[in-house]
Amino acid sequence: MKDVPIGSTGSFTLLVGPQHLASQFKDAILPPVFATPMMVLAMENAALNAVRAFLEPGESAVGTKVEVEHLAATPAGHWVRAEAEVVGVEGRRLRFRVAAYDEAEQVGAGTHERMVVDLDRLESRLASKRLATPVLPPTRE
């Protein structure tokens, strides 16, 4: 990984469709508004876009922590823009301030962390895990 400057920014824009709504994505009883997990997805993509240029070939940055507030509802057909700013770099750990906006207002805010990983090493660990871990049946509660 190249040095990542504090203050580097990235964004990600998403047109809210039916597949992004809480009522479609999680439970039909929920109102037809942009789902929080979809907001987190947009924020994570913005953070990755903020550091993509600093990654070496064979590297990526995977999410490790998210702390966000969903501040306002967004209906289908509206655009959501997520923004991320690098606020800390500690070795391979990257910290971000994240926010999301629709056309009318800020809809989310928080912090996010990502870890720079070597993709070959990660795939090797995953391959070992697939071989070593039995498939467990779902539990009923």
Which tens digit of pLDDT belongs to each residue from 54-105?
Answer: 999 999 999 999 999 999 999 999 999 999 999 999 999 999 999 999 999 9
Total domains present in the chain? 1
Q: Is residue 87 part of a domain?
A: yes
pLDDT of residue 141: 62
Q: What share of the chain is helix, strand, coil (3-state, %, to 5)?
A: 30, 40, 30
Query: Tokens standing for 137?
Result: 């049946």
Task: Write out the residue range of the structural domain in which residue 124 sits.
Answer: 9-132
Which has more confidence, 1 or 46?
Answer: 46
Q: Contact 56/1 with Cβ under 8 angstroms?
A: yes
Indicate if the pLDDT at residue 26 is higher than 90. Answer: no
CATH of the domain at 32: 3.10.129.10
Residue with tokens 């009883």: 29
In a domain, 138, yes or no: no
pLDDT (0 to 100) of residue 44: 98
Residue range 105-128, pLDDT digits in tens:
999 999 999 999 999 898 988 888
| Positions marked catalytic | 36, 44, 70
62 domain residue, yes or no: yes
Token pair for residue 16? Answer: 């809210």
Residue among 124, 107, 117, 106 at smallest CA distance from 51? 117
User: Which is higher by pLDDT, 49 or 23?
Assistant: 49
SS3 category, 99: strand
